[in-house]
Structure 1
Amino acid sequence: MLYKITFAITFFLISLLSIKLSTVKSASGFSVADRSLDYTGVSWVIIGTLVGGISTIGTVQTAYTHGISAWIFTLGSGVSCLLLGLFFAKGLREAGVVTVSEYLGRAFGSRFRSYCSIVNSVGMFIHIIGQFLASIAILQAVFHFSAGWAVLLTSIFIGVFVINGGIAGAGLIGKIKFFLLYVIMLVSAGVALYRGGGLENILSCLPPGADMLSLRHYGLQAASVHMASMVVGVLSTQIYLQAIFSAGDVKEARNGAFLSAAVIPPLGLLGIVIGLYLRANFSEISGGTAQALPFFLYHSFPPLIAAFFSAGILLVVLGTGAGLLLGVTTNIYNDFIDRKTKEHHLLKPLSLLRALTLFILFCAAMLVFTGLDSAILKWSYMSMGLRGSAVFVGLVILVFFKKLSRSRWVVCLLYLIPVVYVLMNINLVGES
C-alpha cells in the first residue's frame, strides 16, 4: 500500500508542476511556440517525445529477450538527430513552415502534401499505441488495473499534458523527463551491476546458447531494417521536425539536434544492462516481458524509491505519447482544417486544436485494444518506417537534389513508396 500511495503522490506532484508551468494562449504558441525556442528548448521537445516507453520499458524488454539488439532504437535515435543537425535543420528552419508535409507540398504539390500528411499521421498514431502499451504495463504492475482502466487513465493523462501546454508543454515535460530519466536509469543500471556481481559475471550467467551479445538471435536482416527505419523515421516525423520549426533561428535548431544526439544513445546502454541482469537471474517475469523494467524497480529498491522511479518512468511514457499526439494534431489541423476555419470561422483556432486533440486521443484509446499482446518495439519500428516512407525521400531530394523535384516521375515515386512499404510489412506487428 505504501508503494502505491507514494507512486500516486509522486506522479501527481510532477504532473502538477508540468501543467502549472506550461500554458498556451494561441494556435501559434500551441504548434511552434511562436518560433522562440533556444537550443535546449529544441532538444527538450525532441527528447521529450523521442525518449519514452520504447527507450525505457521497450529497451529493457528487448534486452531481456534479444540482448544488445535492444540498442537499435536509442542508437538510431542519436544517429538521426546528428544527421538532422548536420544536413536538414537549416533548410527546415528557414522554410518557416509548421508541418513537414507543408514543406514538401511546396515542391511536390498540394495533393502530395495531403497524402504525405495522412501517412505521416498514421505512422505517429501507431507509435502512440506503443506508448499506451508501455503505460499499461506500468499501471498494471503497480495497481493491477484491468486493461480498460489503464487505457482510460493513460488517455486522461496524455490529454491533459497536450491540451494545456502544446509544443512548449512538450518541451517542459521533456526537460523534467531528461533529468529524471537519467537519474533512474543510472541508479538502476548501477544496482543491476552491483547485484549481478559486475558486467562480466552477468554475462557469464546468461542462459547457454542465448547469444545475447550478437545480432544473430535477433536477426541481422531484422536489425538492419529496424535501424534504417529508426534513422529514416526520426528524420521524417512531424513532432521531431516541429521542434526545429519552433527554434528561434538555424543555430538554435542545429544545436538542439546535436544535444539530443549526444544524450539519447547512452540511455539505451543502461537499459541493456538492466535487461541482461534480469535475463541472467530471472528465467520468467510475471506479467510478461513488457513488465521487465517495472519488475526490476519493484524488486530492487525500497518501496518509496521504487514508487518514485516507477512514477518517473510513467511520466516519461506519457510525455512521449503527448508529443506524438501533438504531432498528429498539428498535421491534421494545418494540412486539412486551417483553411476551412479561416473561411467559415467555425471555432477559434486554439479551441479547435484542443477538440481535435481529444478526438484523436479517443481513437487511439479505442484501437490500442487490438495490440495489447504485441511487443512494444515492433509497433515503433513499423511506425518509424511508415513515416519515413512518406517523407524521407522527398526531404533528401529537396536538400541534396532539388532539381529532381520538378520531375513527374519523382513525384510518382514518392506516392508509390508508402504503398510498397505497407505491402512489405503488413504482418510485422502480428509476428511473434
Structure 2
Amino acid sequence: MSLDITFLHLIIMLLTIAVVIFGGIYVARAVKSAEGYSLGGRSASFPLVAGSIAGTVIGGGATVGTAQMASTIGLSAWWFTLSSGITFIVMGFLYARPLRKTGLETISQYLVLNYGKTAGSIASWVTTIGIFFSVVSSCLPGIGIICAVFDVSVWTAALILMLLVASYVFFGGMKSAGVGGILKMLILFASLFVAGGTAFWAIHTDPAISAALPDFPWFSLLGNGTGNAAANLLSVFVGIICTQTYIQALFSATDPQTAAYGAFAAALVAIPVGLPCAMIGMYMHVAEPGVQPLLVLPTYLLHHQPALIGGMAMGGIIISLISSIGGQSLGIGTIISKDIVAPLFQIKNDSTLLKLNRCSCVLVMVIGCVFSIIFRDTQILFWNYLSMGLRGGGIFLPLTLAVFRPGCVSGRWVALSMVCSTMVAILATFLKTPVKPMFLAVAVSFLLLLPGMLAKKE
C-alpha cells in the first residue's frame, strides 16, 4: 500500500531528516577514538545523555506502534511510553549514580567485575539477542513507511533505511546519537502535539467521531485489562534497566550527578510523546478504518494535517526510527566489539577497536533489516515487549544485586540463572504460555539466585 504524498510533503520531510542527520555528522568530526565513539569521551552533559536515551526509546514502538495499537485497543496503547518514562525516573534515582561511578563501558563489564568472566560472557550474548529484537521493532515500520512513501520494494526500502541509519550513527556514535536525539525530540514535540491535539479535538467535539468510538474502556489506561497494564509496565521496566544502550548513555555522562539528571530529563520527554500518537490512532479507528494498521500514523499526518505539520512530523517519525535503530545497533556493536571479539582476538589497538565497533553496528543493521522483511506482517509492539522480556529475564536481578548488594551471590549461581531464565523465556515465547515469558524468566532467575545467596551468606 502506498501513501498519497505530495511534493511539498516530501520536500519538508526530506529537509527535516537532513537537518538531524547533518547535525549528527557535524559533531562526529570530534570522534577520533573507540571510547569517543561509544561513550562520547565521557563528556556528555545532561541534555546529551537525555537525547541519547530518549532518542533511542522514542522509536517505532513509541510512535507508529502506539498509534497502530491505539487504533484497536484505545488509550491503553499509551503504556509503552508511560512505562519508559517511569523507568527512567527510577533509573535516575537508584541506578544512574552507582553505575556511572564505576567508569566502565558495558553491562557485561559490570557483571564481570561482580561475578566473574563466565557470567559476563553469558550476559553479553543474552543482552545482544534481546536488544536485537528492539532493532527489529524499529526496522519493521521503517521499511514499511519507506515502501509506502517512495513506492519501492521492501529490499530497496531496507537499503535506504540502512544508509540513513549509517549516516546517523556510523561516524559519530554516541555523540551523534545525543545531538540527533535532541533535534529529533524538538521536531516531534513541535509537530506531533499539534497533530495529536487536532485528533483530540475532533474526538471530543465531532458527534459522528465520538459516537462511533467504544465506551469507557476505550478511553481508559486500563481498558486492555489491569493485568496487561501491569505486565507491560514491568516488562518495559525490567527490559530498559538491562539495556546496554541506556546504560551506555549513563556511562557517557561527565559525572554521576549528570547521569541521573539525564535520566530524569529523558523521562520528561518519553512520557508525553505517546499521548498524541494514541489520540491519532483512536481518531483513525473511525475516520479511516480500512487503513493498514502500520500506516495509521503516516496516513493521518499526510491526509488530515497541513503540509508543514505533516511533513515535519513524517520527517520526525522517520528520524525516530533511524535513531532508535542506530542507538540499539550502537549498543550491540559496543558489546560485540568490547566484550566478545576484542577479548577473543586480543585486540587492544584503539583505531582497530573503532573500526570494529563501526563494522559491528553496520552488521546489526543489515541482519535486523533482513529479519524484519521475513516477519514484516507482525505487530511492532510485540517485538518491543519480547525484547524487554528476553534481555531483562536473565540480567535484571543479577544487575540489581550487583548495584545494591555486591558480593551477595557467587558467579556460578548467577551464570546458571542467566542461562536457565533465558531458555525459559525463549521456550515460553514459542509455546505462547498464558504467563508472559519475562515473568517466568525472572521467577526462574530468582529461584536460582536465592540458594546462591543463602550459600554465600553461610
Q: 1:7 aligns with which of 3, 13, 17?
A: 13
- The superposition leaves residues 212-255 of structure 1 with CA deviations (integer Å, 9 ceiling, x where unpaired) of 23467635444332221101001110000001111111110111
Find the residue that maps to 2:172 and give its secondary structure.
helix
Segments of structure 2 that go 5 or more residues without pairing to the other structure are 1-5, 434-458
Residues 126/351 of structure 1: CA separation in 2 closer, same or farther (3 Å cut): same
Find the residue that maps to 1:374 and give its secondary structure.
coil
Aligned-pair distance for 1:291?
0.4
1:156 and 2:160 matched: no
Q: 1:124 aligns with which of 127, 131, 134?
A: 131
Any conservation in 2 of the 1:202–1:277 contact (CA below 8 Å)? no
1:225 and 2:225 matched: no
Structure 1 outlier segments of 4+, above 6 Å: none
> Which residue does 2:219 correspond to in 1?
213
389-398 vs 323-332, greater mean Cα deviation: 389-398
After superposition, residues 14-413 of structure 1 pair within 5 angstroms as 14-23=20-29, 24-198=31-205, 204-208=210-214, 211-214=217-220, 218-285=224-291, 288-340=292-344, 342=346, 348-406=352-410, 408-413=412-417
- The superposition leaves residues 22-43 of structure 1 with CA deviations (integer Å, 9 ceiling, x where unpaired) of 3321101011111111211111
Any conservation in 2 of the 1:236–1:388 contact (CA below 8 Å)? yes
Any conservation in 2 of the 1:404–1:410 contact (CA below 8 Å)? no
Residues 63/394 of structure 1: CA separation in 2 closer, same or farther (3 Å cut): same
Find the residue that maps to 1:205 and give its secondary structure.
helix
Task: Please give the alpha-carbon distance, in whole angstroms, between the structure 1 residues aligned to 2:328 and 2:164.
Answer: 14
Task: Please give the alpha-carbon distance, in whole angstroms, between the structure 1 residues aligned to 2:320 and 2:139.
Answer: 12
Aligned-pair distance for 1:387?
1.3
Residues 310/31 of structure 1: CA separation in 2 closer, same or farther (3 Å cut): same
Residues 356/194 of structure 1: CA separation in 2 closer, same or farther (3 Å cut): same
Residues 297/113 of structure 1: CA separation in 2 closer, same or farther (3 Å cut): same
Any conservation in 1 of the 2:33–2:351 contact (CA below 8 Å)? no
Find the residue that maps to 1:264 and give its secondary structure.
helix
Find the residue that maps to 1:405 and give its secondary structure.
coil
Find the residue that maps to 2:242 and give its secondary structure.
coil
305-314 vs 397-406, greater mean Cα deviation: 397-406
- The superposition leaves residues 46-66 of structure 1 with CA deviations (integer Å, 9 ceiling, x where unpaired) of 011111111111111111111
Residues 209/301 of structure 1: CA separation in 2 closer, same or farther (3 Å cut): closer
Find the residue that maps to 2:409 and give its secondary structure.
helix
Sequence identity percentage: 32
Any conservation in 1 of the 2:191–2:312 contact (CA below 8 Å)? no
Provide the aligned length of Structure 1 versus Structure 2. Answer: 427
Aligned-pair distance for 1:104?
0.9
Task: Please give the alpha-carbon distance, in whole angstroms, between the structure 1 residues aligned to 2:84 and 2:122.
Answer: 25
Any conservation in 2 of the 1:378–1:428 contact (CA below 8 Å)? no
Find the residue that maps to 1:373 and give its secondary structure.
coil
> Which residue does 2:451 correspond to in 1?
none
Find the residue that maps to 1:112 and give its secondary structure.
helix
Aligned-pair distance for 1:303?
3.2
Task: Please give the alpha-carbon distance, in whole angstroms, between the structure 1 residues aligned to 2:345 and 2:351.
Answer: 7
Paired letter, 1:33: G
Aligned-pair distance for 1:20?
2.3
Any conservation in 2 of the 1:101–1:391 contact (CA below 8 Å)? no
Q: 1:425 aligns with which of 429, 433, 436?
A: 429
Residues 367/407 of structure 1: CA separation in 2 closer, same or farther (3 Å cut): closer
Segments of structure 1 that go 5 or more residues without pairing to the other structure are none
Find the residue that maps to 1:265 and give its secondary structure.
helix
- The superposition leaves residues 269-326 of structure 1 with CA deviations (integer Å, 9 ceiling, x where unpaired) of 22211111112323221xx111010010011123344223211211111011100000
Paired letter, 2:365: L
Paired letter, 1:405: V
Task: Please give the alpha-carbon distance, in whole angstroms, between the structure 1 residues aligned to 2:421 and 2:207.
Answer: 47
Task: Please give the alpha-carbon distance, in whole angstroms, between the structure 2 residues aligned to 1:386 and 1:201.
Answer: 44
Task: Please give the alpha-carbon distance, in whole angstroms, between the structure 1 residues aligned to 2:432 and 2:138.
Answer: 18
226-235 vs 187-196, greater mean Cα deviation: 187-196
> Which residue does 2:443 correspond to in 1?
none
Residues 344/394 of structure 1: CA separation in 2 closer, same or farther (3 Å cut): closer
Task: Please give the alpha-carbon distance, in whole angstroms, between the structure 2 residues aligned to 1:130 and 1:296.
Answer: 21
Task: Please give the alpha-carbon distance, in whole angstroms, between the structure 2 residues aligned to 1:9 and 1:194.
Answer: 29
Task: Please give the alpha-carbon distance, in whole angstroms, between the structure 1 residues aligned to 2:32 and 2:350.
Answer: 18
Any conservation in 1 of the 2:222–2:229 contact (CA below 8 Å)? no
Q: Give the TM-score of the pair, scaled to structure 2.
A: 0.87
- The superposition leaves residues 345-391 of structure 1 with CA deviations (integer Å, 9 ceiling, x where unpaired) of 69722122222222222222222222100111111100111111132
Aligned-pair distance for 1:136?
2.0
Task: Please give the alpha-carbon distance, in whole angstroms, between the structure 1 residues aligned to 2:307 and 2:277.
Answer: 21
Paired letter, 2:232: H
Task: Please give the alpha-carbon distance, in whole angstroms, between the structure 2 residues aligned to 1:412 and 1:107.
Answer: 15
Paired letter, 1:139: I
Aligned-pair distance for 1:162?
1.8
296-305 vs 216-225, greater mean Cα deviation: 216-225
Any conservation in 2 of the 1:73–1:227 contact (CA below 8 Å)? yes
Paired letter, 1:76: S
Any conservation in 1 of the 2:195–2:309 contact (CA below 8 Å)? no
